[in-house]
Amino acid sequence: MRIAGIIMECNPFHEGHDYIIKTARSLTGASFCIVVLSGDYVQRGEPAVLDKESRTEKVLEAGADLVLELPSCYSTGAADYFARGAVALLKKIGAVTDLVFGSESSDTDRLMETAQFLLREDDTLSIAVKRLMSDGLTYPAARSLAAKELGLNVPYPDTPNDILAVEYCKQLLTKDGSLSASGIVPHAASRIACPSASSLRKKMHDVRGDFSAPLYYALWCSTALQDDTCLSVFQGVSGDLSRRIIHNLPQFTDYASFCSLIKTRNLTYTAVSRALLHILLDMRSEHLEEYITAGVAGYARVLGFRRESSALLGILSDASQIPLIVRPGSDIEKVRTPFGRMLLQDCRISELYDSTAGNKKTGRQVVPELSKQPVILC
């Protein structure tokens, strides 16, 4: 039996996501499709424009059988952390045979060649990237040029989905460039012409504004009476960025404007937004390192499933190396240290999302995260 895994943000869900889910079955011959979905906070360093339950429902309606939540410490990380968390989750549940992802190039062989090159040249590439960034290039531009200088035979991807695709492929490979013991086979599915998530977001309410006051409060509390590098305890915050944030804090007006104020020639808007989100959500580098050392993924939180595909839960219960979390309130006792902290933190920040932005639109009462039930599509 083949089971396809798909990694998505769906911020918001659109035709391209629908196409990938439907294409996954034809590409792989899979009996079931599992989607790993970003929760209420996404890789751009922002709260999602719609809550995770609404997006889960759309994904199930498109034909996915099961939706799992990507923990926020990975869903809000740079491409390498995002991919590491998502692929580890698919590996740990034990039954996934294929990984399908959207790609501008739709060239699986090229993406795998780039991933193998990066694994071989990891240290050398990092040194070259730092040198080029010191000359004024942004990280993506420096990485692309460094790879070319070091002899990569194909162009380094410069489009969002292909950059992520290379990171997915790296996580499927061993250090010598062969497929890892999981045996998960990658498949690059071509993107279709449709309105992008970015263009759709511009027509929707920008939820960052709802989080401006909480962000300012988090920054103020974290910096009060401390030295100017105190923010470097958070994910993605260097000492230099910490000093820059603290120096400019008196000019804070709102989330988006502060990102624009803080960014530099070498530090992109997205990297700044991601760092500020980590401060807002109290995501600390030491905790992330603990999770990675402990095995990256320690549980699989079920956001929703199709009732007709409920047999898949039984398959995963037998195959999975980590507990399936269907009812967080009762299932959390199955989660081992340090991943219990990860789950509780995701519950806490989802309640922040619901009370700040999510349920404000719908008028629904905020439900404690530990009491939530998965979305079930009948």
Tens of pLDDT, residues 19-48: 999 999 999 999 999 999 999 999 999 999
pLDDT of the residue at 155? 73
What is the mean pLDDT of the segment spanning 56-84?
97
| CA nearest neighbour of 138 among 267, 269, 5 | 267
The conformation of residue 155, written as its DSSP 8-state character, comes to P
As a dihedral over the C-alpha atoms of residue 192, residue 160, residue 248, residue 239, rounded to 10 degrees, the angle is 160
Question: For the whole model, what pTM was predicted?
Answer: 0.94
304 DSSP β-pair partners: 67, 375
The residue among 265 and 253 whose pLDDT is bigger is 253
* pLDDT exceeds cutoff 70 at 364: no
Transcribe 206-269 into DSSP letters: -GGGGGHHHHHHHHHHHHTTS-TTGGGGBTT--HHHHHHHHHHGGG---HHHHHHHH--SSS-H
CATH number of this structure's domain 3-118+159-196+290-377: 3.40.50.620
What is the mean pLDDT of the segment spanning 335-344?
97
Residue type, 376: I
Cβ contact 63:22 at 8 Å: yes
* pLDDT exceeds cutoff 90 at 129: no
Report the chain's terminal Cα–Cα distance, integer Å: 24
User: Given its phi and psi angles, is residue 14 left (phi above 0), alpha (psi -120 to 50 degrees) or beta?
Assistant: beta
Of 43-47, 252-256, 265-269, the least confident: 265-269
CA atoms of 93 and 319, how far apart (whole Å): 6
Residue 362 — pLDDT band, cuts 50, 70, 90? low
| Sequence-separated (6 or more) residues with CB below 8 Å from residue 214 | 280, 352, 356
* pLDDT exceeds cutoff 90 at 157: no
pLDDT of the residue at 359? 60
Length of the chain: 378
* pLDDT exceeds cutoff 60 at 263: yes
